[in-house]
Amino acid sequence: MNATKQLLSGVRVADFSRVLAGPYATAMLADQGAEVFKIEMPGHGDDSRHLGPFTDTGSTYFTSLNRGKRSIEADLKDTEQHAQLLDFIRTCDVVVENFRPGVAAKLGLSFEDIKAVKPDIVYASISGFGQTGAQAKRPAYDTVIQALSGLMSSTGFPDGSPTRVGESIADVSAGVFAAFGVSSALFHRQTTGEGSHIDIPMLDVMLAMQPTNTAIHAAGSTPNRVGNRHPISAPFDTYAAADGLVVIAVANDKLFGVLSATLGKPGLVLDSRFATDSDRSDNDDALRAEIEEFTTGHTVAELCAIFDAAGVPNSPVLNFAEAVNGPITDGRGLTTTDARTCHTHLRHPLLVDGVRPTSALPVPHLGEHNDELSAERTDAPRSAEPTKE
C-alpha cells in the first residue's frame, strides 16, 4: 500500500478553538499533515476534556476531536504570555478561533492584531452569525442554528414536532467549511503571498447545506416535514417489511421500471399516477400501498438480497455500531485506536491516492507542549513567497 501523503505537511496551525466546530476543522487539518497547536486554558483546557462519555483514560468526545494535535496552556489575558503567543504565531501559517465576535479583539488576538505581526496569516473565524451584522454577537449552539436555519422545521414526520437532526450537524458542517476555507486560502497565499480572513458563520453554512429545500423555496413553496420520504422524489423512503423497515431509493423512470418488475408489478409503469417522478411523488400514498403489498411479505434481509440482485438501491436501517462495525465498512480502515487513551475514533473520510490520511500523534495531555511557547525562536518567521510570473 502507498504511504500516506501529507498534503498539508509544513503547515503550522495555532488553534484557539474550543468544543466542536473549530476542533473538528483542525483535526481534519492535522490528519492531512498540518502541525496543530491547541492553545488551552491553564489548568482546565478545552471544555470538551470534561464532556462525556468517559473511560478511565478520559473523554472519548475530546479524543475524537483532538487527535494528532499538540497542547499548549496559555493565559490569554496575561501580558507576558500574550507576547509569547504573538512570537509563536509568527512561526505559524494559520490561526483558527471560534470566540464570539469581538472577544478575539479584546484579547489582542483579532485578525488585524495577528496580521500586524504575521502579514500573510490565514485566519479562520467560526461563529454563529458571522463577524458583522446585527446578530453577530448573539450566542449560538448547534440546536439554535438548526432551528433558525429552517432545517428543524423540515425534519420529522408531518404529524409530529420539528426535530433536531441526530448529530450536531451545524457545528460539524461549519468545521468542514472552515477546513475548506483554510485550504483554499493557503493555496491563494502560495500563489500571491497574501493572507486571508475566512469568516465561517454557522447559520450561513447550515442554509447552504440545504439545496433541496432551497429548490423548493425557489419554486414558491415552503419545505415541510415529510418523514423519511424524499420531498421531491418517489419511491424514496422507508417501507414496512415483515420484521422492520427497508429503504428503497428510486429517482428516475428507468429504475422505477426495474423496481416494478422486481415487485412483480410491471404494469405500474403504465399507470398514469406513476408515469414520472413528479407523478409518483404526488401519488406517494398510493405508490406506498403497492410497494408494501410486496415488502411486508418478506424480511428486511430478504428484501435487501432481492433488491441487490435487481440493482435497486436499498438498505436496512442500521444503528451506529452496525454501520461502523458491519460488513459494509469492513476492510475500509475507517477507524483507528489512539495509542495513549486506547479510544477508537473515526479516521479522515477522504482517501489520498488510495490511502486514508491520519496523524500518528497521540491525543495530547493538557499543556504537554508548553515548551513550544517559551522556546527561543532561532528560526526566521515563515512567509510564503508569491509565485513568480
CATH number assigned to the domain comprising residue 264: 3.30.1540.10
Same domain assignment for residues 98 and 67: yes
Q: Show the domain range for 249.
A: 236-321
pLDDT tens figures, 285-324 = 999 999 999 999 999 999 999 999 999 999 999 999 999 9
Same domain assignment for residues 273 and 300: yes
pLDDT score, position 378: 46
CA distances to 12, 84, 109, 110, 181 from 119, rounded to whole Å, are 15, 18, 14, 13, 18
Structure confidence at residue 376 as a pLDDT band (50, 70, 90): low
pLDDT score, position 164: 97
Average pLDDT over residues 145-158: 98
Same domain assignment for residues 133 and 60: yes
In a domain, 383, yes or no: no
Last residue of a domain, one of 321, 340, 363: 321
Q: Is the pLDDT of residue 386 over 70?
A: no
pLDDT tens figures, 163-184 = 999 999 999 999 999 999 999 9
| % of the chain exceeding 90 in pLDDT | 93
Last residue of a domain, one of 277, 297, 321: 321
Same domain assignment for residues 56 and 182: yes
pLDDT tens figures, 260-288 = 999 999 999 999 999 999 999 999 999 99
Number of domains in the chain: 2
Same domain assignment for residues 203 and 162: yes
In a domain, 230, yes or no: no
pLDDT score, position 223: 96
pLDDT score, position 300: 98
**Burial tier of 354 (Cβ tally within 10 Å: 0-12, 13-18, 19+):** exposed
Same domain assignment for residues 196 and 60: yes
Tell me if the pTM is above 0.85. yes
pLDDT score, position 5: 84
pLDDT score, position 374: 77
Same domain assignment for residues 27 and 137: yes
Closest by Cα among 143, 40, 29, 27 to 372: 40
pLDDT score, position 385: 47
Same domain assignment for residues 76 and 193: yes
Query: What is the residue type of 206?
Result: M
pLDDT score, position 360: 86
pLDDT score, position 19: 97
In a domain, 181, yes or no: yes
Q: Is the pLDDT of residue 7 over 60?
A: yes
Catalytic residue (choose from 188, 230, 298, 369): 230
Same domain assignment for residues 251 and 285: yes
In a domain, 5, yes or no: no
In a domain, 75, yes or no: yes
In a domain, 119, yes or no: yes
Same domain assignment for residues 115 and 154: yes
Of the listed ranges 22-26, 215-219, 280-284, 375-379, the least confidently predicted one is 375-379
In a domain, 219, yes or no: no
Could you confirm whether 230 is annotated as catalytic?
yes
In a domain, 229, yes or no: no
Same domain assignment for residues 138 and 266: no
Same domain assignment for residues 57 and 168: yes
pLDDT score, position 373: 87
CA distances to 25, 34, 48, 61, 99 from 21, rounded to whole Å, are 6, 17, 12, 13, 11
What is the 8-class DSSP label of residue 279?
Answer: H
pLDDT tens figures, 41-79 = 999 999 999 999 999 999 999 999 999 999 999 999 999
Pair type for strands 244-249 and 314-316: antiparallel
CATH number, residue 91: 3.40.50.10540
